[in-house]
């Protein structure tokens, strides 16, 4: 699941990113309001963590513009403890929750997870393909009655492919999305993880959920 974090304080942004990525979220950082608005209106995110005091376009104007465009993405505001008026205005503009600075990272992560549960509901948090079931909230994976234990990277890779069954992804696309930064394009990291996933999902090799497209990359099989 993708989260946009609009925060200009580098250190705070780094801590937030680390905490959310440890929970398996894919995090995109925006250091100013203009970049945050561009990303929020051009890409799809599951939650936006939005600091009110941003250079360039401020958080409240971004929130107002998103709601004016009928963009209902859940928004968690980061506000100063003393600014009650901003918090009230933010909630009136359509923010879903807020956290006041300074905050405990555990609280922020818990609030983001709560927003996701509230927004998605069980139906949207479950991806199925045949007897393979992936719960995006609890991050449980089952094949039939068998529970499959995946690492964070393996889970993110599986989720990425399962969200668009039948779509072919190049290795570089997978690297960029799942690992979040550019790798040596000649690395065999994706191939190694795909093999691990296949083995975990189907130890006997009798079910092929992920197909290899020779010379291109991989795709998740349509059920």
Model pLDDT for residues 86-119, shown as the tens digit of each residue: 778 888 888 999 898 888 898 899 899 888 877 7
User: Are the C-beta atoms of residues 5 and 47 closer than 8 Å to each other?
Assistant: no
Beta-bridge partner residues of 26: 2
- Between residues 86 and 218, the one the model is more confident about: 218
Segment 40-49 shows an average pLDDT of 90
3-state secondary structure of 81: coil
Distance CA 174, CA 135 (A): 21
Question: How do strand 217-220 and strand 26-30 relate by DSSP bridges?
Answer: unpaired
Task: Indicate if the pLDDT at residue 157 is higher than 80.
Answer: yes
2-6, 37-41, 97-101, 196-200: least confidently modelled range: 97-101
Task: Indicate if the pLDDT at residue 1 is higher than 90.
Answer: no
Confidence bin at 181 (pLDDT 50/70/90): low
What was the pLDDT predicted at 16?
94
Place of tokens 């928004």: 75
Q: Identify each DSSP E strand in the chain by its residue range.
A: 2-6, 26-30, 47-51, 75-80, 97-101, 126-129, 132-135, 141-143, 146-148, 169-170, 210-213, 217-220
Segment 196-215 shows an average pLDDT of 92
Task: Give the Å distances, CA to CA, from 58 to 8, 108, 113, 211, 215.
Answer: 11, 20, 24, 45, 45
What was the pLDDT predicted at 50?
96
Distance CA 14, CA 97 (A): 21
Neighbours of 18 (CB within 10 A): 11
What was the pLDDT predicted at 207?
86
User: Are the C-beta atoms of residues 162 and 156 closer than 8 Å to each other?
Assistant: no
What was the pLDDT predicted at 25?
85
Confidence bin at 24 (pLDDT 50/70/90): confident
The sign of the CA dihedral 10, 90, 113, 119 is negative
């Amino acid at each position: 699941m993708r989260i946009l974090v609009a925060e200009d304080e580098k250190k705070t942004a780094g801590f937030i990113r680390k905490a959310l990525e440890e929970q398996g979220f894919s995090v995109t950082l925006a250091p100013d309001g203009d970049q945050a608005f561009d990303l929020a209106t051009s890409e799809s995110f599951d939650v936006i963590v939005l600091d009110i005091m941003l250079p360039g376009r401020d958080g409240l104007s971004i929130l107002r513009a998103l709601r004016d465009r009928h963009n209902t993405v859940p928004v968690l505001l980061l506000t100063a403890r003393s600014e009650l008026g901003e918090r009230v205005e933010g909630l009136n503009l359509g923010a879903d929750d807020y956290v006041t600075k300074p905050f405990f990272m555990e609280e922020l992560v818990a609030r983001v997870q709560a927003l996701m549960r509230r927004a998605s509901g069980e139906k949207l948090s479950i991806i199925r393909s045949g007897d393979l079931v992936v719960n995006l909230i609890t991050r449980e994976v089952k094949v039939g009655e068998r529970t499959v234990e995946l690492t964070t990277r393996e889970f993110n890779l599986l989720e990425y492919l399962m969200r668009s069954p039948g779509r072919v992804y190049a290795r570089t696309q997978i690297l960029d999305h799942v690992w979040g930064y550019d790798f040596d394009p000649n690395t065999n990291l994706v191939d190694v993880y795909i093999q691990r996933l296949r083995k975990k999902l189907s130890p006997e090799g009798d079910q092929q959920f992920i197909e290899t497209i020779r010379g291109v990359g991989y795709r998740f099989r349509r059920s």
